[in-house]
Copies of this chain bind each other. A is one copy, B any other.
Amino acid sequence: MGIITLTTDFGEKDHFVGAIKGAIYNELDDARIVDISHLVTPFNIPEAAYIIQNAYKSFPKGSIHIIGIDSELNPENKHIAVSLDDHYFICANNGIMSMICQEIVPEKIVEINIHDKIETSFPVLDVFVKVACHIARGGTLEVIGKVINTIKPIKNLVPYVNDEKNQIIGSVIYVDNYGNVVTNIKRKFFDNIQKTREYEISARNHKFKQIFKKYSDIVNFENEESKRNSDGKGLVVFNSSDYLEIAMYKSNWDNLGGASTLMGLRVMDTVTVNFT
C-alpha cells in the first residue's frame, strides 16, 4: 500500500488534520499517512510549492501527496491530480504544482470531476481523500478526472539574468525554521551563468564573495574556541535542496535571531549576484 502525505495550511490545533486522517483510515485500513507540514502560511502558494518540492523526492515511488492549500472549488480554482516522477499529487490548480513542473514534466494531469456526486465545504476531506484512496487502491487518474495539458503557473519562479550575463537578480522565496533565507537561485542555474568568474552576492547592504559548502565552514577550527567568534555570523551556502541561501551560523531565535531578522530579509526581497 502506498504512502499518503499531507501538506496543508490547516495548522495543528484545529480538528481538520485529525478528521482527514480518520477519513483515510476509514477507506484504507492499512494506510501509511505522513505529515509533511500543516504550518504553511494560510493561502501562501509559493511556500507550499517550496515545501512539497523538497519533501516529495525522499518518498518511495508511488507515494500520493495531498496538498490542501486554497482548495475551495470555484470557477477559477479547479481540483487536479498529477502524476509526475512516479509520484501522485492532488491539489487545487492554483500554482502549487508549477515549481515542481518547471523541473520535471508531468506524466499526466487530470481535472478532477467527481464533484457532481459530492456536496462539500471541506474538499480536502470529501474530495482529495477519496481521490487519494482511489489511487492507493490502484485506480487510474482517468476514472476520477478528464485529462488536461497545462497547469496554472506562479510568478517569479526563475531569477532574472541581464543581457550581458554578468548579473543574476533573484528573490527570497522562503525563510526556514532557523531564519535562514532561501532564494530562487538554484545551484545549476548559478553555475551555468558563473562559469569560472568571481562573484559578489548582495542582499540589502550585506555582501558575500564566497559560497560555503556547509555552514560550519565559516569556523576556523585552528583557533581556540573562545577566539572564533563565528556564532551568529552571516554566510552563503547552497542548502540541502540546492538553493542559494543566506544563513547565519548557529542562528538562534532566542538569542541571536536568524539571518532573516538580523539582516532584515523577507520573502520577495531581492538578492543580486554580480560576476566580474
Contact = CB atoms under 8 A, between A and B. Distances in A.
B15 A52 contact: yes
A25 B121 contact: no
Interface stretch (A4-12, A102-110, A198-206): A4-12
A274 interface: no
Contact of A58 (B22, B120, B250): B22
A137 interface: no
A26 B252 contact: no
A10 B54 CA distance: 14
Nearest to A53: B15
Contacts of A250: 42-43, 70
Contacts of A37: 12-15, 18
Given A177-B42, A240-B121, A3 B25 contact: yes
Interface stretch (A139-147, A161-169, A188-196, A212-220): A212-220
Copies per complex of this chain? 3
A112 interface: no
Interface stretch (A28-36, A78-86, A151-159): A28-36
Interface residues of A, number: 74
B18 A177 contact: no
A36 B63 contact: no
A244 to B, nearest CB: 13
Nearest to A43: B250
A21 interface: yes
A271 to B, nearest CB: 19
A58 B125 contact: yes
A85 to B, nearest CB: 13
Nearest to A27: B60
B213 A121 contact: yes
